[in-house]
Amino acid sequence: MAVPHSAPIIVFDVNETLLDITTLEPLFERVFGERTMLREWFANLILYSQTMTLCGRYTPFGTLAVGTLRMVASNNHVALADSDIDELQARMSNMPAHADVLPALNRLRDAGFRLVTLSNSASGASPSPLERAGLATFFERSFSVEAVGKFKPAPETYQSVSQALNVGLADLLLVACHQWDTAGAQAAGCFGALLTRPYNAPLLIDEMPVPDLMAPELGALAEQIIQRWSGRA
């Protein structure tokens, strides 16, 4: 099935959008006594990734993840062992796909959409996290922000994808479960589709870009995409 020439290339965020970060919870429960500490760590990881970019600095996302874990542990007067760091890195490399991902990707691919990814995580040796999760074959390219040395939502991150694919920014649809990501993509000139997974409700205030599409589950979001750009489900 072919989609119209005007249909965008779908650019998927990876961490939490496709891959399930809740599989890191056992580490946080063991170290901090609270699974919900995962959210404090992840929020700080995103905060400081954006801070690095605003300061004109860059370090790989995995290195920042470890440093953020050490910071959160220090703030909570918790001593970390080297084995805790090893476990974080191992779990981050082996996150499974959310249950709704595989059917939605199959649906979009069968409908004729081109699919790529754009991640804050640095590229690495094979097997990649997407390969381990059984998702890599769905995507024609996997992009990392390391190419521009800036983290999302810096406009250069989305621009690098459009340049590599030789298309305009208006030819890209960014799918993410973080509104800071969809808003950044929209500000750069892309379409934005927000997946409202748990802990990722939209920020509905004036001047915040409203996502072009929004759904709580990836299958429903995929159907919205198909209806909008192919006119059939």
Burial class (CB in 10 A: 0-12, 13-18, 19+), 139: buried
For 87, the token pair is 């476990």
Contact 41, 29 (CB under 8 A): no
Q: What is the reported pLDDT for 233?
A: 38
Question: Which among 169, 74, 61 is positioned nearest to 119, based on CA atoms?
Answer: 61
pLDDT of residue 125: 74
pLDDT of residue 230: 82
* pLDDT at res. 199: 93
Predicted pLDDT at 48: 98
Per-residue pLDDT of the chain (233 residues; tens, 9 = 90+): 567 668 999 999 999 999 999 999 999 999 999 999 999 999 999 999 999 999 999 999 999 999 999 999 999 999 999 999 999 999 999 999 999 999 999 999 999 999 999 999 998 878 999 999 999 999 999 999 999 999 999 999 999 999 999 999 999 999 999 999 999 999 999 999 999 999 999 999 999 999 999 999 999 999 999 999 986 43
Number of H helices, E strands in the chain: 9, 6
**What's the 3-state SS for 78-126?**
CCCCHHHHHHHHHHHHCCCECCCHHHHHHHHHHCCCCEEEEECCCCCCC
What does pTM read for this prediction?
A: 0.95
- Distance CA(196)–CA(214), nearest Å, equals 7
Which H or E run contains 168? none
Domains, the chain, with CATH or none: 9-20+96-229 (3.40.50.1000), 21-93 (1.10.150.240)
CA distance 118 to 11: 6
